[in-house]
Chains A and B, each alone.
Chain A
Amino acid sequence: MSSLLPQFIVDLWDSLPPLVQYLTVVTWKILFVTIAVILVVAFSTYFERKVIGSMQSRVGPNRVGPLGLGQPFADVIKLLIKEIVVPAQSNKFLFVIAPLLSLIPALATWAVVPLHPGFTISNINAGLLYVLALTSLGVYGVILAGWASNSKYALLGAMRSAAQIVAYEIAMGFALVGVLMAAGSLNLGAIVEGQAGGFSNWFLLPLFPLFIVYWVSGVAETNRAPFDVAEGESEIVAGFHVEYAGVAFALFFLAEYANMVLISALASVFFLGGWASPLAGWTFLDGSLLAFIAAPSFFWLFAKISFFMYSFFWFRATFPRYRYDQIMRLGWKVFIPITIFWIAVEAVMAWQRVGPWANLG
């Protein structure tokens, strides 16, 4: 790398104090990941409309640019130039910072997600705890938006969302206890490395019920269909963001999709081996054009994220909305017992070295 640059740039870089060097590198990494996530979010709105369009025998967006690919940018520009209306009776300060509070945790969690072998913004030991802590903060944006709007519908939406997120967080946390037992580490990089070496080493098989619980809780946690009662447009108009317009609304939208991408990435990291390739043993591909599919790389993480994003849209086009009491029942009375039971099963099986559990821990 350094041989590619002219000598004076290398010398200039070396003459900087280590703190400045470190800050520069980290800032560039953060910028790179954030912009990439925002672009993925922009195009996943397009992806969603195309997928649901095709499932409902429509074409989806096809006017702006080739194949309608300019649609996300057209939407963004439309929202940017709209007026932000702040309700007169609202709590102005909280009303304005609420969208930020829901977006920031969604982006900050990416700091510990391993994207490529050796590439993580911050490789911390307690990575899994950090993920849990930050995903539990997103609910503040929703609650404060509902309260600060001083509107009945918004408050009802916020209440529903808060109860739902708190309920499903517990099931999610328990599912992750199973993952950390299997990997023997809280470090996300170590969790991915523990699953390297082909499909059979993924935690998907030994932790299958936990995977289902985590994934469904993830859908519930992001307030997506079929758990989108927080928006519930047939009952409470648009839920917590009913009073928001323009950029403030766009931020909520961005936060929701950023959370979806994040949950997809985390589900792939925890259960599908993150950047690890399922075809790790395929040495006959070496030297051919397809060699990259056998190697662990960002390509595989991206493929897994895309699969989960597709399932998000698939659910939305397929399932009718859950009734609220049934959402609560599913979270508290079904998922939490399943996770606790499966953690016990996993512990016994790994201890006795049985079947697919033999290599865990």
Chain B
Amino acid sequence: MFYSILFYLFATVLVGAALGVIFARNPVHAIMFLVLTFFQSAMLWLMVEAEFLAIVLVLVYVGAVMVLFLFVIMMLDVEIESVKRGLTHYAPFAIVISLIMAVELVQLIWVRGSADAMDNAFTPNPADYDNTKALGAVLYTEHAYAFEIAAVILLLAIVAAITLTMRKRPGLKVQDISAQVSVRAKDRIRLVKMKSESES
């Protein structure tokens, strides 16, 4: 009972926030709605005892990805009018994608909703079950190869992004910090001892 109330509460807020992402006029508001959406899905994952995934969702998406999104969007001066004009331009593309997603969703619900799948109701894990450990045990043994490939792809993306944005302008003046730190007084000033020139 308590469990169902919580589920419907989180699910309602999740759907509401997801709609908010689409309908919010201000892009910053849309991002905050997206943050709320991620939080609510993390809550739903917590409810099926997937605490590792839930916390990592908050850590990676809310803590890092959305911050960078916000960072970029805050700098933009978005004109609502141009966004509206863009809507009709992208509409066919958007409709195709949303149709594919809808079909996939319906298929999933249809498969899950069939009689034999309905019997596998959620059963709580034993108290000493450690989600993180279980995931790690599978990830580093059975799926080690796929895991490594994912890591290499991410590394490639980082290297590519850095290479694309690295520009060396000719004539750019850059400070060499170690040279600055290691500078000594005698490199900059020369103290000379000399006799006074005037005879007094």
Q: Is A147 a contact of B74 with CB atoms below 8 Å?
A: yes
Nearest Cβ on chain A to B103's Cβ, whole angstroms: 34
Q: Is A143 a contact of B74 with CB atoms below 8 Å?
A: yes
Q: Is B177 a contact of A133 with CB atoms below 8 Å?
A: no
Q: Is B90 an interface residue (CB 8 A)?
A: no
- Candidates A132, A143, A165, A186; contact of B70 at CB < 8 Å: A143
Q: Given A124-B51, A155-B74, is A133 in contact with B58 using a C-beta cutoff of 8 Å? A: yes
- Candidates B52, B64, B130, B132; contact of A136 at CB < 8 Å: B64
Residues of chain A lying within 8 A (CB to CB) of residue B59: 129, 132-133, 136
Q: Give bound CA distance, A165 to B130, whole Å.
A: 30
A133-155 residues with Cβ-Cβ distance < 8 A to B are: 133, 136-137, 139-140, 143-144, 146-147, 155
Q: Is A143 a contact of B51 with CB atoms below 8 Å?
A: no
Q: Is A166 a contact of B64 with CB atoms below 8 Å?
A: yes
- Candidates A19, A146, A159, A169; contact of B64 at CB < 8 Å: A169
Nearest Cβ on chain B to A269's Cβ, whole angstroms: 18
Residues of chain A lying within 8 A (CB to CB) of residue B130: 125
Identity of the chain A residue whose Cβ is nearest the Cβ of B35 in the assembled complex = A140
- Candidates A19, A129, A147, A166; contact of B2 at CB < 8 Å: A19
A152-178 residues with Cβ-Cβ distance < 8 A to B are: 155, 158-159, 162-163, 165-166, 169
Q: Given A126-B132, A147-B74, is A139 in contact with B67 using a C-beta cutoff of 8 Å? A: yes
Residues of chain A lying within 8 A (CB to CB) of residue B70: 140, 143, 147, 162
Identity of the chain A residue whose Cβ is nearest the Cβ of B55 in the assembled complex = A129
The interface bits of chain B over 23-46 (1 if a CB of A lies within 8 angstroms of the residue's CB, else 0) are 000101000100100000000000
Interface magnitude class on chain B: 20 to 34
Q: Is A353 an interface residue (CB 8 A)?
A: no
Residues of chain A lying within 8 A (CB to CB) of residue B177: 326, 329
Q: Given A125-B51, A125-B131, A329-B177, is A133 in contact with B63 using a C-beta cutoff of 8 Å? A: yes
B67-93 residues with Cβ-Cβ distance < 8 A to A are: 67-68, 70-71, 74-75
Q: Is A94 an interface residue (CB 8 A)?
A: yes
Nearest Cβ on chain B to A137's Cβ, whole angstroms: 6
Residues of chain A lying within 8 A (CB to CB) of residue B64: 136, 166, 169
Q: Is B63 a contact of A126 with CB atoms below 8 Å?
A: no
Q: Given A125-B132, A126-B51, A130-B55, is A136 in contact with B74 using a C-beta cutoff of 8 Å? A: no
Residues of chain B lying within 8 A (CB to CB) of residue A186: 132
Q: Give bound CA distance, A201 to B101, whole Å.
A: 54
Residues of chain A lying within 8 A (CB to CB) of residue B105: none
Which residue among A19, A133, A146 has the maximum number of chain B CB atoms within 10 Å of its CB? Answer: A133
Q: Is A137 a contact of B71 with CB atoms below 8 Å?
A: no
- Candidates A124, A125, A130, A163; contact of B71 at CB < 8 Å: A163
Q: Is A137 a contact of B62 with CB atoms below 8 Å?
A: yes
Residues of chain B lying within 8 A (CB to CB) of residue A144: 28, 32
Which residue among B59, B63, B70, B131 has the maximum number of chain A CB atoms within 10 Å of its CB? Answer: B63
Q: Give bound CA distance, A137 to B177, whole Å.
A: 33
Residues of chain B lying within 8 A (CB to CB) of residue A147: 28, 70, 74
Q: Give bound CA distance, A326 to B58, whole Å.
A: 30
Q: Which residues of B contact A (CB under 8 A)?
A: 2, 26, 28, 32, 35, 51-52, 55-56, 58-59, 62-64, 67-68, 70-71, 74-75, 130-132, 177
Beyond A125-B132, A129-B55, 12 extra complex contacts between A and B, CB < 8 Å: A94-B32, A125-B131, A126-B55, A129-B52, A132-B59, A136-B64, A139-B63, A140-B35, A146-B74, A159-B71, A159-B75, A162-B67
9 nearest A-B residue pairs (beta carbon): A136-B63, A133-B59, A133-B58, A129-B55, A147-B74, A133-B55, A125-B130, A126-B51, A126-B132
Subset of 9 A-B contacts with CB under 8 Å: A94-B32, A132-B63, A133-B59, A137-B63, A147-B28, A166-B67, A166-B71, A326-B177, A329-B177
